[in-house]
Amino acid sequence: MFDSIGWGEILVLIVAGLFILGPERLPEAAAWLGRTVRKVRDFATGARQQLRDEVGTDFEEFRKPIEDLRNLRNFDPKHAVREHLFDGDPDPLGLNNINGAGPVNGNGVHGVHGAPASAPQQAEPLKPGEKPPVDPDAT
């Protein structure tokens, strides 16, 4: 209950209560507040237990979708898209095998899903003064 309230805020509330209620009525008001919080907590626990008793074994079927909805609070869309597109592949673009460390397909990717390509293409460096080949279909 006091997860978001710090000791400083509690001290301010006590001092404000001391000024508003006075020293003679403050202990009585604190006791009333404690009893009320305890009653509300007991009511919530009783309602939860009554719901479990009435629903029975089907309670778990209802609880699972609610837990899934609670987990959506921590939903990261970038992570979900990455996992969906790359199926958990740690190196989907083949960037870990750059600089001739592994065979390369025609599109520059190291095989399918990181697997080595079946026919590696070795490009010979151009000699000085030699023009690069032109592909008329690519231009």
**Chain segment 39-48, per-residue pLDDT in tens:** 999 999 998 8
pTM: 0.35
Confidence at 105, pLDDT banded by 50, 70, 90: low
pLDDT of residue 130 exceeding 70: yes
**What three-state secondary structure class fits 118?**
coil
Instruction: Look at the block and give the residue holding tokens 């009320």.
Output: 36
Asked if 89 and 104 touch (Cβ cutoff 8 Å), the reply is no
Is 62:55 a contact under the CB 8 Å cutoff?
yes
User: What is the reported pLDDT for 17?
Assistant: 83
Mean pLDDT of all residues in the chain? 76
Please identify which residue in the block is written with the tokens 């009525």.
Answer: 25
pLDDT band of residue 51 (cuts 50, 70, 90) is: confident
Using alpha carbons, select from 125, 77, 75, 71 the residue that is nearest to residue 100: 125
CB neighbour list of residue 105: distance below 8 Å, 6 or more residues apart: 111, 117, 121
